Structure 1
Amino acid sequence: MSRWTSGWRPALRIARRSVRRNLKRSILIAALIAVPIAGATVIDGMLRTMSGAEHNLYQAMGTADGLAQITGQHALPDWRPGMSPYGMHDPTAETERDPAAVDLLGMLPPGSRAVPEPKFLGVQLTEGDRIVRTDLMVFAVGDPLTEHRARIVAGRAPDDPAEAVVTKPLADRLGLLTDDGDGLRPGATITVDDGRTATVSGMAVNPLQLDQQAVLTRPGSTMADAGVSFPEMVLGYYVDLPDGVDPDSVWPVLAEHGVTFTPREVHTQPERYPALMTGGGDFLETAGPVALVVLFGVLEVVLLAGAAFAVGARRQVRELGLIGANGGTSKHVRRTVLAQGLFLGTIGALAGLVLGWLVLVAGTPLWQRLTNELVDGWRFGWIELVVAAAVGVLSGLGAALVPAIGVARMRPVDALAQRFRSTAMTARLPVLGVVLLGVGIGGVVVSGLLARQVMADYQAMLEQEGAVYTSPDVMLPTVGAVLGGLAMVVGVIMVSSGLLGALGRFAARLPLSARLAVRDAGRHRHRTVPAVAAIMIVVAGAVAMSFGLAAGRSTDFRSQPENTVIVEGDPMLSDGDEQLATGAGDVAAELPGGEALEITMLSGSTPTPDGGPTPVAFGSPDSTSPRCDMSWAQAGIATPKLIELATGSPPSPAALAALDRGEVLVLDECLFPDDATTGAVSTEADEEAERVTLPGRLLEPESEYPYYQFPAVFVSAETAAEHGWTPEVGGYVVTHDPTATQDDIDTALAAAEDNGLNGYVNTDESAEIQAVSLGLAGGAGLVTLLGVGITVALSAAESRADLATLAAVGAQPRRRRLLAGAQGLVISGMGTVLGLVVGAGIGFVVVPLSGDLAFPVPWESLAVTVVAVPLLAVLVSMLSTRSNLPMVRRVD
C-alpha cells in the first residue's frame, strides 16, 4: 500500500497544482462531469419524493396505521392485503348489507380511532349573479388523520355546523382573501344556490393537489348535504391503532366481517404481502431513469472532457517532459495525467450532488407549481446517488485516459520542445466499423419495416367485426431499433477517423482557411473524432425525437373547430336549458364577433333503463372502412352554420336539398361501406322501437376525424318531427373572430365558469411541440458549442507556432478567426450530418410505432438542428477567437 501511495501522492500534488494554475479549464471539465450527476440527483429526488413508496403511502392514508373499507358483503374469506375491495363477492351470503350500518369501532381493538374518508360531492355557490361550481368534501376537517387531504393555512377548522373551510384557490376565486393574498377576509361567507349560507372559519390547501377548489365541511353540518353525489358501494376509514397492536392481527378479523384493512406496511414492506400486485419496486423505478441520465452523461463527458483534458495535457507537455528528463517513466507520466482526471472527477461528482440538491431545494416553489403538490422535504435514494457519483469519478478517469496514453508515448525531447508529430493522413476505414454501420443501418430498416407491418396488421385487426382491443406487439421492432441504433452509433464513431482522412485528401481544392481546417482535423483525429462523436450522438437523439413528435402531431385530431368555444352543462348540477343558454350568451359577449349556436341532439321516445333519453343513432353494420372503431353515431338537427363548422365549408345546395327531401347527411365514412358516398343508414336497433332506414349522403369534413362535440349525422327538424324524435340541447358552440386574444378567451371561459358551466377551447399542441423541438435543438446546440469550442481551443494550443509562422510570412490578422470558423464548420457540420443519418434511421422506426404510417418529416425542426446549430457554432468560434497572436520561438 505504501508503494502505491508513494507513486500516486506526487501525481496528486501535481494534479492539484495544475488545477489551480489552469482554473478556467479545470472548472469546464468539472462542470462537464457535474452536470449529469446533478441531473441524476434532481431526477432521483423528484421520483423518490413524488412517486416513491413514502409518497404513495401518504397519498393513500396519510399518517394512519391503516385504511379500512366496509363492503356490502358479510364476509370476505379470500381477501388479502393488497387486493381491491371492489368486486369481492361472498357466495354464501344471501343478501348484501348497507356499509353505513356496520359498527367498525366494535370490530377494532379497544382504543382505536376511525375517521371516515372524505365524501366528494358537487355544489354550486352563488356570488351575486355569478354561479361558481366547485367540489364539496365532507370529512373530519382538521383531524390529524386527514391532514393529507387538507391542511389549515389560515383561520381554524370548523367547530360549528354553520361553518366551513375553503381551499385557498377557491377563496381567491371568490374574493375572500385579504389584500396581501395570504389571509382570509374577516366575516367571509359562502352561499349555495339553494340559499343556505355558511361562515368561512378557515382556509386550507390540499397537499396532494394545490390548485384544488373545494368547500370543506364536517359531517352533520349545514353544508354536508348541499351537494350531489353518486351512491357509494364501499365506505373507507382512516384507522389509528393503539400502540403495540400488530396490524397483521387486525385484517383477518375484519375480513371475516366483510371489511378490508390495508396496513401501512403494504406500501413500505410489499414483500410481506404476496397478494399485492407491484411493479419493479422503488429502486428499479428510480434507478432506471437515473442510470439512463448518468450513462448518457458519462458518454458525453468522456468525449468532451477527454478533448478538454487533451488541451491541458498538450499545454503542460513541457512539464511532463521534465518528468521523463529526470528519470520518470511513461507510467509516471500517465499517472500524472490520470491523477488530474481523478481529482477533477471527484470535484465534479461532489459538485454535481451539491448542485442537484441546491436545484431541488432552492427551486421548491417552482417544483410545487409544476407537480401541483406540497413538498415537505426531499427524499433521495442514496444507493443510486453513490453509484452515480462513483461513475462520475470514473468518467473523469476515463476522460483523462486517452490523453494520458498519448502524452506518455511522446519522446522527452519532443515534450521539452513542445513539438507534436502529426499522423499521416490515411483514409483507411476500419473494417469492423464499416460492418457495424452496415449492420446498424440494416437493423433499423428491417425494424422500421417490421414496425410498419405490425401496426398495419393491428389496424386491420381492429377493423374486423368483433375485434378485441389489445395492444400491438412491438417488442421485436423496438429491440431491433435499439440494437440497430447502437450499432450505427458505434460504427459511425469507428469510421469517423477514416472519413476525416478521406476528407483531408480533397482539401487542396478548398480555400486557404478551409484547407488548413480540414487538414488540421484529419491530422489530429485524436481530438476531432471525440467532438464529432459527441455532436453526432446528441443531434441523432434530437432528430429521432423530432420525428416522434411530428408523428404524434400528425395522428392527433382536433376536438373542435378553430376560433370556437364549446359550452356545456353538468348533468348533475345544471339548472337546465335556460342556464345553458344564458351562459353561452355571456361567453359570446366576451369575444369579438361572438355568436352562440345551439347544438341540438335527437332522442327517441323509448327511455333507457335508468329513465334517461335514448339517443337516436345512425349507422351501417356493413361498414369496413379503415380506422373505424364504431359503426353508429348520434344524430342532431342540421343548420347551415353547424354544417359549415363541422365540415369546414358551407353546405352545397345539393346537400341542403337532400335535407329537405328527408335524407341524412353523414360526416363519418365509418357509417358507410367502403368508398361509398351515398347509401342507406339505419337507426340503431331497439327492442321496443322500430328501426328506421333513411337514404344518406356523405359529406367530406375538413378534419379526418369528425369533431366529437358535433353530431356526425345531420337531419332536418322536419324529418325529426316526422319520426317523433325529441330535440335535446347538447350544448352551445360560440364562434368568434380570429382576432380574439388569449385574454379574451380566458375571460370567456371565466364567464362560463361563473354560470356553472364548462367551457372548452381547441387543444392546440403545436406550441408545446414547437417548444419541445426548440429545446431539443437548444440541447444539440449546447453540446455542439462545447465540442467545437474545446476542439478549436485544442487546435489553437497545438498550432500556436504554425499560426505565428503564418503571421510572420504576411497572413492577415483575421486569418486566425477565419481558420477558427472553418474548424468549427468542419467539426459541427460533420457531427450534425452524421447525427442526421443516425437520427433519421431511428426515426424510421419511431414513426410507425407511434401509429403513423405516412412518415411525416419535421422539416422545421431539422432545419434548426442541422443548419442553424452549425452556423451558430461557426459564428461563436469566430467571435471568441482573437485576431492577433504574439510571436513564439520555434524550437527544433
Structure 2
Amino acid sequence: MSAARAALRLARRDAWRSRGRSVLVMVLIGLPVLVFTGLLTLVQTMDVTRGEGLAAALGAAGARLVQAPAGTTIQQRPDGTSWSTGDGRPAAEAAPELGAAGVAALLGPGARLIPYSTGTLRLSTGQAEAVETDLRDPLTRGMLTLREGRLPAPGEVAVTPALGLRPGDLVRPSGAAPLRVTGVVEHPNRPALRAVAGPELPQLQAEDFWSPGLSGRGWLAGTATPVTWTQVAALNRAGLHVTSRAMFLSAPGPSPGGVRQAVALGTMAVMAVLETALLAGPAFAVGLRRRREELALIAAQGGSAGHLRTIVLAGGLLLGGAATLVATALGVAAGLLGAQVVARWAGQSGQVGPPDVPWPPVLGVAALGLLAGIAAALVPAVQAAAGPAAVLAGRPPATRERAGWPLAGAALVLAGLAATVAARRQPDPVWVWAAAALTMIGLVAVIPWLVGVTGRPAGRLRLPLRVSVRDAVRHRSRTASAVAAVTAVTAAVVAVGIGAWSDHVDRRDAYTSARPAGLLAIWGGTMDDATWSRLRAEAARRLPGVPLAAGYQPRDAQGHRYALRYTVRWNGTRTRRTAAVGGQDLLALLQGRHDARAAAALASGKAVVFDPAAVRGGMLRLRAGSTGGPPRTLDVPAVVAAPAGEHQGGALLPRALVERAGFVTAERQLYAMHRLPAGSALPRDLARVTPRVTVAQEEGYRNLPDPGLWAWLAGCLVLVVGGTLAATRLAAADMAPERATMTAVGAPAGVMRLVVAGQALYISGLGALVGLAAGAVTGVALSRPMTSHGSGDPATVAVPWPFLLAVVVGLPVLAAAAALVTRTGPALARRTP
C-alpha cells in the first residue's frame, strides 16, 4: 500500500472517530465556499444577457420601432446601446410622425408590421404595465409565454400571474368598461411583472414620459433582411427609435478588466484562503494533540517525519475536499433558487434569466476551498514529527519557537504599510486592498509573538482569567490562528467602515443646489408664447392656491437661448452654476424669508449671489453660452446674501440687469415652495400640453449612510463570534486535565465557564485590537481614492465611531457572553500510579 493511500485511510478513520470536530472543520471550510458559489450563481442567473433577453424584447421580429412624440428628434449610437433626444433644432424642424405604410417603405421590400405599443394602465387595484399587441401573431412569439387559458382576441386581455387573476375574471380599467381575461401569460425574464396585454387596451398612456424602453406607440417589424445601421439612422431622422435584432446581437460586450481585475481577484483569493485556513486551523491543532500518541507509535515503527506530515495533510485534503464538494453543490442550488426569490422580491424591476452556473469561477472557488483545507493543516503537519519519544513517555513534546518568524512578519508589515502609502495616491482602491493583504500576511506571522507578549501579565489577573490566558499562551498555535482570523475580519470591516463613512461624509458635504429643499421647479424648453401660456394655465389649474414665482429665459435678438453661468469652488470641487433670472417673489423663495437688504439690491439692478467665493470686488463674472449664438463674458454688480439652505448656492439676476446686457427675457420657468405627493400626475398632465417641459422637485440631500455597513457588521458578527466560539469550544475540550484539577480542589462549576469566557474575550479582544490598528490604516488610505476628485481636491477622512465601537468592543463582549453558556462539565482524568 502506498504511503499516500495509507495516509488517506488513517485520515478517514480519524475523521469518523472525531465526527464533531470533523463537522466543525467542514463547516468552517465549506461556509465561505457555499456563500461565494451561491452569490456567483445568483448574479450570473440574474444577469440577463442580450441573447437571453432577445425573445422578450423582439419576439420573432427583426426590429421594434417606437414613435417619438411630435417635435422630438432621436439620436442612437451605432451599437444601439444608448440614445438621446434633441439636437438643438427647433421643434418645427423635426420630422412629422409616419404611419405604418411610411415606416414599411423605409424598411424596404418585404417588411411586415404589426402594432406594438407599451404604456401604463390604471386599474382599480393599482397600475399595471400595458402591452397593446396581438399575441396571436407569430412576430410576438417568445415575448409573453402562455401558461393558462388562451391568447386574447380583440376586446379581450391576458394578464401576468402577479395580478392574481384567472381566465374568466374581469380587468377593470379606471374610467373604461371591464375587459375579460382569457389567459395568464408570463414574461420570460420578469416573474413579478404586473402587466396586461391585448390587441385593444383603453386609456393606454404611452405619451407620458416617453421612453422607448418603458412607453411608446410603435410596431414590430418582420423584415426580409437585417435592419442595418444605415436604416437606423434614417429611421431616427423620421422620429423613430429602433431596436434591431442585428444591432442587438452585434453590440460589444463588457471589456475585460485587465491588470486591475487580476489584482482584485488575486487579493480576494489570498484573503479568502487565509481567512478560511485561520478559522479551521485551531481544529486541526487540537486534532494533532489528540493524535500525538498514534503518530508517535507510527514514528516508533519506522515512520519518517515526512510520513507523519503526509498523514496530517491528508486530513486537511479529505475534510477540505468533502466540505468543498458539499458546499459547491449547496451553493449552486441556493444560487439558482435564490435568483427566483430575489427577482420576485424586487418586484417590477426584478429580472432573472435561465439557470446559469458560471463554472470557471465556481470551480476556482472550489479549488480555493480545497487549498484552504490543506493550508489549515499545514502548521500542525509541520509540528507532527516533534518529540515522539516524549509523547510515548507521557510528556508534552517540546516545541521550538522560530525567532525569525516575528522578524519576517514585521518586515512584511512594514512593506505592506509602505505599499499602502504608495497605493493611497492611486485612483483605484484595489491597490490599497492589495497592500492591505500584504500587511495581513505579515500580521499572521507576528501574532504568535504577540500572544506570548500579552500573556506575560497573566499572573496579576484573577484565577479564571489567569488560567484562560496561560492556557491560550501554552497552546500558542491554536490561539494564534484564532486571533489572526479575528484580526483579518476586523481589519477588513474597520477599513470598509472608515472608507464608506468617509465617502458618505464627502458626498454630504459636497452636495450643493441652486434651490432650497422643497422647491418645485417647472421649466419650459423651446416653445412659443402660446404654448407657454397654455402650460402656465395648466400648472396653475393643477396647483390651486399655490403661489407661483416666475423665472425668465435670456435670448439674443435672433432668438437663441442663452444660459448665464459662473464657476465656483464648493468644498474643494469646482461647481458650475446657472444664474436664475427673476424678481422679488423668486428671491423670497430662494432665501426662505424676506431680506430687506437683498431685496433692495435686486431692485437696484444688482445680482444677489449665495456663493460668497464667486463675488470679487463687488462683481460677479458670468459666461453667457448658447448652442446657436456666440459666447459672451459679463461682469455684473453683485451683493452676497444668505440662502435658505445650508448646502444652497446660486445667484439671482434682475430682468433689468439682463436686458441692459443686450438680452431679451421671456418667462419660461415657474417656481413654488410645494412638495408633490408620491405618484403625482402633475408631470404627466403638463407633458400632455407639450413634451418640452421639465418638472423637478428639489429634495435636498437624500443619500443615507450605506446600509451595507451594517451588513458588514453582521458578517463580522458571524465570523468573529463563530470563530471565537469554535476555538474556545476546542480549548474547553482540550483543557480536560485543568478541569479535572480544578474540580478536585473544589472549584465551583461557574469558574470553568469563566475560564472559557475569559479565553473567548482574550482571543476576540486581542484580534479586534490588532485588526483595529490594521484596518484604520487601510481605511484612511481608502478614503483618498474614494473621496478625492482631482489633484487639487483634499481627501475626506471620517471615522464612524459607533460602528467601530460595536466592532471592536461589542463583538468581543458578545463572544465572551456567548462562551459563558459553553458546556463545561467536570472531566474525569486518568491518573497513572
TM bucket, shorter chain: 0.7 to 0.9
One-letter code aligned to 1:24: G
Task: Say which SS state the counterpart of residue 697 (structure 1) adopts.
Answer: strand
Q: Which residue of 1 aligns with 2:391?
A: 414
1:630 aligned residue (576, 584, 604): 576
2:827 aligned residue (873, 877, 886): 886
Residues 290-309 of structure 1 aligned to structure 2 (within 5 Å):
295-309=270-284
Q: How many residues align?
A: 775
Residues 222-371 of structure 1 aligned to structure 2 (within 5 Å):
227=207, 277-280=252-255, 295-324=270-299, 328-369=303-344
1:499 aligned residue (450, 458, 461): 450
Matched, 1:537 2:466: no
Task: Say which SS state the counterpart of residue 545 (structure 1) adopts.
Answer: helix
Cα drift, residue 57 of structure 1? 5.5
Matched, 1:188 2:128: no
User: Separation in 1 of the partners of 2:385 and 2:552?
Assistant: 86
Q: Which residue of 2 aligns with 1:522?
A: 473
User: Separation in 2 of the partners of 1:231 and 1:808?
Assistant: 81
- Which stretch of structure 1 is more off in the superposition, 654-663 or 798-807? 654-663
- Which stretch of structure 1 is more off in the superposition, 375-384 or 492-501? 375-384
* Contact map agreement 2:33 2:366 (CA 8 A) in 1: yes
Task: Say which SS state the counterpart of residue 665 (structure 1) adopts.
Answer: strand
Q: Which residue of 2 aligns with 1:667?
A: 610
Cα drift, residue 328 of structure 1? 4.9
Task: Say which SS state the counterpart of residue 793 (structure 1) adopts.
Answer: helix
User: Separation in 1 of the partners of 2:701 and 2:167?
Assistant: 37
Matched, 1:48 2:48: no
* Residue 658 to residue 257, structure 1, CA distance change in 2 (3 Å): closer
* Residue 394 to residue 85, structure 1, CA distance change in 2 (3 Å): closer
Alpha-carbon deviations, 1:643-695, whole Å to 9, x = none?
4xx56x7454433443454543323457534xx7x534668467599999764
2:752 aligned residue (813, 816, 831): 816
Structure 2 segments unaligned to the other structure (5+ residues):
68-75, 85-94, 236-241, 687-694, 789-794
Matched, 1:388 2:365: yes
Cα drift, residue 551 of structure 1? 2.2
Q: Which residue of 1 aligns with 2:87?
A: none
* Residue 626 to residue 875, structure 1, CA distance change in 2 (3 Å): closer
* Contact map agreement 2:587 2:599 (CA 8 A) in 1: no
* Contact map agreement 1:36 1:294 (CA 8 A) in 2: no
TM-score w.r.t. structure 2 length? 0.76
2:406 aligned residue (400, 424, 430): 430
Cα drift, residue 47 of structure 1? 3.6
* Residue 848 to residue 44, structure 1, CA distance change in 2 (3 Å): same
One-letter code aligned to 1:356: G
User: Separation in 1 of the partners of 2:571 and 2:302?
Assistant: 84
* Contact map agreement 2:568 2:576 (CA 8 A) in 1: no
Cα drift, residue 531 of structure 1? 1.5
Q: Which residue of 2 aligns with 1:76?
A: none
Cα drift, residue 379 of structure 1? 0.8
User: Separation in 2 of the partners of 1:156 and 1:352?
Assistant: 43
One-letter code aligned to 1:378: P
User: Separation in 2 of the partners of 1:577 and 1:446?
Assistant: 58
Q: Which residue of 2 aligns with 1:654?
A: 597
TM-score w.r.t. structure 1 length? 0.71
Matched, 1:20 2:16: yes
Cα drift, residue 32 of structure 1? 1.9
One-letter code aligned to 2:319: L
* Residue 310 to residue 182, structure 1, CA distance change in 2 (3 Å): farther
- Which stretch of structure 1 is more off in the superposition, 209-218 or 23-32? 209-218
Cα drift, residue 353 of structure 1? 1.9
Cα drift, residue 536 of structure 1? 1.5
Cα drift, residue 304 of structure 1? 0.9
One-letter code aligned to 1:885: P
* Contact map agreement 1:191 1:198 (CA 8 A) in 2: no
* Residue 697 to residue 306, structure 1, CA distance change in 2 (3 Å): same
User: Separation in 2 of the partners of 1:206 and 1:288?
Assistant: 39
- Which stretch of structure 1 is more off in the superposition, 500-509 or 424-433? 424-433
Q: Which residue of 1 aligns with 2:88?
A: none
Q: Which residue of 2 aligns with 1:749?
A: 678
Matched, 1:802 2:777: no
Cα drift, residue 425 of structure 1? 8.2
Task: Say which SS state the counterpart of residue 579 (structure 2) adopts.
Answer: strand
Task: Say which SS state the counterpart of residue 603 (structure 1) adopts.
Answer: strand
* Contact map agreement 2:167 2:181 (CA 8 A) in 1: no
Alpha-carbon deviations, 1:473-492, whole Å to 9, x = none?
x25xx565244322211221
* Contact map agreement 1:115 1:140 (CA 8 A) in 2: no
* Residue 685 to residue 537, structure 1, CA distance change in 2 (3 Å): closer
* Contact map agreement 2:228 2:247 (CA 8 A) in 1: no
Matched, 1:602 2:552: yes
Paired-residue identity, %: 24
Q: Which residue of 2 aligns with 1:785?
A: 721
Alpha-carbon deviations, 1:419-463, whole Å to 9, x = none?
534657898763222222112222222433x35xxxxxxxxxxxx
Task: Say which SS state the counterpart of residue 227 (structure 1) adopts.
Answer: coil
* Contact map agreement 1:618 1:632 (CA 8 A) in 2: yes
Q: Which residue of 1 aligns with 2:464?
A: 513
Cα drift, residue 302 of structure 1? 1.1
Task: Say which SS state the counterpart of residue 628 (structure 1) adopts.
Answer: strand
Cα RMSD over matched residues?
5.3
1:869 aligned residue (798, 806, 811): 811
* Contact map agreement 2:11 2:315 (CA 8 A) in 1: yes
* Contact map agreement 1:584 1:732 (CA 8 A) in 2: no
Task: Say which SS state the counterpart of residue 380 (structure 1) adopts.
Answer: coil
Cα drift, residue 207 of structure 1? 4.3
Task: Say which SS state the counterpart of residue 280 (structure 2) adopts.
Answer: helix
User: Separation in 1 of the partners of 2:556 and 2:161?
Assistant: 46
User: Separation in 2 of the partners of 1:568 and 1:682?
Assistant: 24
Task: Say which SS state the counterpart of residue 574 (structure 2) adopts.
Answer: coil
User: Separation in 1 of the partners of 2:45 and 2:580?
Assistant: 46
* Residue 102 to residue 21, structure 1, CA distance change in 2 (3 Å): same
* Contact map agreement 1:148 1:208 (CA 8 A) in 2: no
User: Separation in 1 of the partners of 2:148 and 2:573?
Assistant: 54
Structure 1 segments unaligned to the other structure (5+ residues):
72-78, 88-95, 170-176, 242-246, 271-275, 452-473, 586-594, 736-744
Q: Which residue of 1 aligns with 2:801?
A: 859
